[in-house]
Amino acid sequence: MKNVSALLSSLIFLFISATEARKNPQICSSSCGDIHDISYPFRLKEDPAGCGDPDFQLSCKNNKTILNFHGGFYYVKRISYDERTIRVADVNLASGSCSLPNRSLSMQEVLMDARYPGLADYSFWYALNFVRCSNNISDLAKSRAPCLSGNTSHVYVNVSWAFLYSYDVPKPCKVISTVPAFYENMVQNLSYETALKMQESGFDMRWSVECRDCRAKGRSCVNKFNTTNIFQCEEEYDYEAVVRLVYSLFAAVNLAGIIGAVIRFILLPPVILAFILHTYFSMRKKIDVREKSSQTDQSRGKVTRNIENHLEMPPKPVFFSAQDKCCMIEAQSDSPKEMLLPESMERSS
């Protein structure tokens, strides 16, 4: 029980130390061989617990800085803190000798690592594929690896762009190992001498603490705007909020449809009817007013014409016969008043 308790205490202490080292890294620096400035996030295995980040730990062996990456060992040739890159070369290939890689490393493994999210320069990166063939392949004769070939089998180094496809490998051959490589020139008709130079120079990988932290949270990491070496977490989408928004939009559309149906089939007909009635009575009222105005104008016209007729007609002359004249004279003679007659009438009488 005491041993178990001591073991558990040690594990808890190591876990707490690693966690604190990530949260509060110490500003410290170390060196190994040609790498003189090993600082945060990198650290050597022999450094104090608070130095650097445990996920970026390196080791120093025979005065050479070594990176353990996906179970393979790589010599560290350079670390750039400005560009955030690290250049490494397979320990079996770094000296430029004829050999198979210490471990086969595909491009997919490099790209999927949270600490080292991809190669530095995609314009000049290749995959060196070691293929073993049962027969001589004339197209690959220049890239034959003499130390790996024999009488019954032949090993060639085939180059491909980043990812290896089936058409990159001849049919009677199979891939036995692959390794990323960097070369500043266009590679065509690869020779084995060029392959050795590419193996020796190694390849550059980007390193990012931010990308590691993002993937630890289950999120993807992307390049910051207008940068190629600084990463940040991809925006996290609230899927529940999206679902709620979609549901709200769906409910709003249905509600709008219901309101539209109510307006169209229940409220709209009375409104239309009221509008028609209002229009009808308004027009009727205008017609009545026009008829009354017309009748008034006609009456006024008749009166005016009658007046005008009376004013324009002269009085009609009255004609008396001789008998009527005699009667009028006799009647007047009976009157006490005297009536003066014109001389002409007197003469006729």
Please say whether the beta carbons of 29 and 37 come within 8 A.
yes
Structural domain containing residue 51: 25-62
Higher pLDDT, 342 or 97: 97
Tell me, yes or no, whether 127 lies in a domain: yes
How many Cβ atoms sit within 10 Å of the Cβ of residue 173? 20
Whether residue 84 is found in the same domain as residue 183: yes
Tokens 């084995």 belong to residue: 192
Q: Residue 133 and residue 156: Cα distance in Å, rounded?
A: 8
> Hey, what are 295's tokens?
């009748």
Each residue's pLDDT tens digit, 318-327: 555 555 555 5
pLDDT at 131 over 90: yes
pLDDT at 179 over 60: yes
Q: Is the peptide bond before 180 cis (omega within 30 degrees of 0)?
A: no
Three-state SS for 119?
A: strand
Q: Which letter does DSSP use for residue 123 in this model?
A: T
Whether residue 87 is found in the same domain as residue 192: yes
- At 348 the pLDDT is 46
Choosing from 8, 33, 62, the residue where a domain stops is 62
pLDDT at 343 over 80: no
Q: Which percentage of the chain shows pLDDT scores above 90?
A: 35
Whether residue 136 is found in the same domain as residue 83: yes
Sequence letter at residue 60: C
pTM over 0.75: no
Give the range with max mean pLDDT: 58-72, 150-164, 332-346. 58-72
Whether residue 116 is found in the same domain as residue 152: yes
Tell me, yes or no, whether 215 lies in a domain: no
Each residue's pLDDT tens digit, 20-73: 545 556 678 999 999 999 999 999 999 998 899 999 999 999 999 999 999 999
Whether residue 165 is found in the same domain as residue 187: yes
Q: Which percentage of the chain shows pLDDT scores above 70?
A: 71
Q: How many domains does the chain have?
A: 3
Whether residue 239 is found in the same domain as residue 198: no
**Residues sharing a CB contact under 8 Å with residue 202, sequence separation 6 or more, in sequence order:** 74, 75, 77, 87, 88, 89, 90, 94, 181, 182
Whether residue 86 is found in the same domain as residue 199: yes
Tell me, yes or no, whether 39 lies in a domain: yes
Whether residue 145 is found in the same domain as residue 233: no
Higher pLDDT, 122 or 78: 78
Whether residue 43 is found in the same domain as residue 143: no
Whether residue 195 is found in the same domain as residue 128: yes
pLDDT at 158 over 70: yes
Poorest-pLDDT segment among 52-61, 74-83, 295-304: 295-304
Confidence of residue 118 (pLDDT cuts 50, 70, 90): confident
- At 337 the pLDDT is 46
Whether residue 120 is found in the same domain as residue 234: no
Q: Residue 188 and residue 66: Cα distance in Å, rounded?
A: 32
Poorest-pLDDT segment among 15-24, 250-259, 269-278: 15-24
Q: Residue 47 and residue 53: Cα distance in Å, rounded?
A: 11
Poorest-pLDDT segment among 38-47, 156-165, 209-218: 156-165
Q: What is the mean pLDDT of residues 214-222?
A: 86
Tell me, yes or no, whether 329 lies in a domain: no
Whether residue 157 is found in the same domain as residue 104: yes
Q: Residue 59 and residue 68: Cα distance in Å, rounded?
A: 8
Tell me, yes or no, whether 309 lies in a domain: no
Tell me, yes or no, whether 136 lies in a domain: yes
